Chains A and B, each alone.
Chain A
Amino acid sequence: MSPIVGSKQAEQLKQDGNSYFQKNRFGAAIDAYTEAITLCPNVPIYWTNRALCHRKRNDWQRVEEDCRKAIQLDHNSVKAHYYLGLALLQKELYAEGVRELEKALDLGRGANPGSYMVEEIWEELAKAKYLEWEHESTRRSWELQNLKESCELALKEKHMLDSSQIEGLVDENSTSLLKQLEAVGKVFMRAAEDDTPTEVPDHLCCKITLDIFRDPVITPSGVTYERAVILDHLQKVGKFDPITREPLYTSQLVPNLAIKEAVHAFLDRHGWAYRID
C-alpha cells in the first residue's frame, strides 16, 4: 500500500516539524504538524509524528488520542500501534498496551524484520511483560508462603492434639510429623518452580544469538534461527546455513510456527525469561 501523502504545503509543514523535532524543539514541531493536520487531516503520518512529540513531552493522553486517529486512517501503522501501546501501559492498562505492542511487532516484522523499530518494540514489550511477571510472581510467592505457613501450623497442631490423646507413641508420631513437614516443603517448592528463573531450554534458543527466539525461521536443513540474525548472516557472512554449511538463500527461510508457539507457551508460564540483560 503506498502511503497517503498530503498537499505540497502540508508536506512542507511536515518537513518543518521533522527538523524542529530533530532539534528537540517539540512545541514548534507540534505546531507544524497541527497545521499540516488542519490542511490534510487524512494523512496518518502527521498524526503519528505529532504523537511522537507528545511522547517526548510525556503527554500520554495526547499520544493516545493522536494514535487512535492514525489507526482509524491506517490500521496497519506500526508507529501508531507502538506509541498507543506505550501510552496504554503508562495508564496501567496492561493487557491493552501489550496487545497494541504485539500488533506493532507483527506489522513491523512483516515490513522490515531487522529494523531498529522492531528491536525497540520488542524491548518495550519484554520490559512490560517482565514487570508484569515480577508483580504477579511476587503476589503468587507471598500467597504460597502464607499457605505454606498455615499448613505447617495445622500439621503441628494436629501432632500436638494426637500426642495428647495417644500415649506411648510419641517418637513415632514426631518422626511422621517431620516427614510430613518435609513433604509439604517439597510440594511448595514445586509449586514455585515456574516462577524460579533458570535457563531457557536450548531448543527454544537461537544457535547464533543464544537467546530465546522472537521470530524463528527454519532452513531447508531443518535448523531454526532468529530471523533478523540469519538475514544478517546471509548478507554479511555468506549464503550458507551456519550450522550445516549447506547453500542457503533468503527465499528459502520459512517461519517456524511450532517453535514460535512453544516460545509463547514457555514465556506465558515463565515470565522471567522476558528479562533483557
Chain B
Amino acid sequence: MDITRRAMTSASHSSPKPLSKIACNRLQKELVEWQVNPPAGFNLKPSDNLQRWVIDVNGAPGTLYANETYQLQVDFPEHYPMEAPQVIFVPPVPMHPHIYSNGHICLDILYDSWSPAMTVSSICISLLSMLSSSTAKQLPDDNDRYVKNCRNGRSPKETRWWFHDDKV
C-alpha cells in the first residue's frame, strides 16, 4: 500500500471555463440518470450549478467507515467528458492511505486512466470500493510533504501521480 508521487507541475489559478455544449448535454443526462437511479450510499446535494456537484458519501456497512459521512466535490472542466472531472473530498476527509488530508485522492481513473465512458456515478462506485477495501485508517505516508506542496490551491489534476498499487 505504498504510494508516492513524482515531480509536480507548477500551480495555475485560472477560473473554470464554462461547460461546452457537449459537456452540458452530457451532464444533464447524467443528472437525470442519477435522479432515477442514484448509486447506493451517495446523496447529491441539490444545486443549480451543473459544473460543481457536491455529494454526500456514506461509508458502507461492515467497513471501517460504516456510519460515517463524508463530502465529495466534483468540478467539471469545459471539455468533460473528454477530460476527467476534478474529484476531491471536502475536509474533514476519511482517513485512508490514498486520501490526503487536503482532500486529494490518489485514484488512477481520476487522472491517467480516465475514460470518457465513465460517469460521476461510476466514479462514486469506484471511490466507495476504494474506501471499503481499506484495512487501516491512516493517512498516506507522504501526506505532510504533499499537502505542504499543494498549499497554493493547486488542483490534484496537476499532480503527476505515480500509482504503485491498484488493489486499494
Contact = CB atoms under 8 A, between A and B. Distances in A.
Interface of A: 207-211, 229, 232-233, 236-237, 240, 242-243, 245, 277
Contact of A242 (B29, B33, B116): B116
A237 B29 contact: no
Nearest to A232: B82
Contacts of A208: 26, 81, 116-117
Interface of B: 22, 25-26, 28-30, 33, 79, 81-83, 114-117
B115 A277 contact: no
Given A233-B82, A237-B82, A243 B25 contact: no
11 contacts: A208-B116, A209-B22, A209-B29, A210-B30, A211-B25, A229-B22, A229-B116, A236-B83, A240-B115, A242-B116, A245-B115
Given A233-B82, A236-B82, A277-B25, A210 B33 contact: yes
A253 to B, nearest CB: 15
Interface centre among B79, B82, B115 (most CB of A within 10 A): B115
B31 to A, nearest CB: 10
Contacts of B29: 209-211
A interface secondary structure, majority: loop
A258 B117 CA distance: 22
Given A208-B81, A237-B82, A242 B26 contact: no
Contacts of B82: 232-233, 236-237
Contacts, number: 37
Contacts of A233: 82, 116
A104 B61 CA distance: 56
B162 to A, nearest CB: 18
Given A232-B82, A236-B82, A237-B82, A209 B117 contact: no
Contact of A237 (B25, B30, B33, B115): B115
A277 B28 CA distance: 9
A209 B114 contact: no
Nearest to A223: B117
A210 B119 CA distance: 10
Contacts of A243: 115, 117
A237 B82 CA distance: 6
Given A208-B81, A210-B30, A242 B25 contact: no
B166 to A, nearest CB: 13
A277 to B, nearest CB: 6
* Top 6 A-B pairs, shortest CB-CB distance: A242-B117, A210-B29, A242-B115, A243-B117, A208-B116, A207-B117
Contact of A210 (B26, B79, B83, B115): B26
Contacts of B30: 210
A37 to B, nearest CB: 36
Contacts of B83: 236
A26 to B, nearest CB: 27
Given A207-B117, A245-B115, 18 more contacts: A208-B81, A208-B117, A209-B22, A210-B26, A210-B33, A229-B116, A232-B82, A233-B116, A236-B79, A236-B82, A236-B83, A237-B82, A237-B114, A237-B115, A240-B115, A242-B116, A277-B25, A277-B28
Nearest to B21: A119
B78 to A, nearest CB: 12
Contacts of B115: 237, 240, 242-243, 245
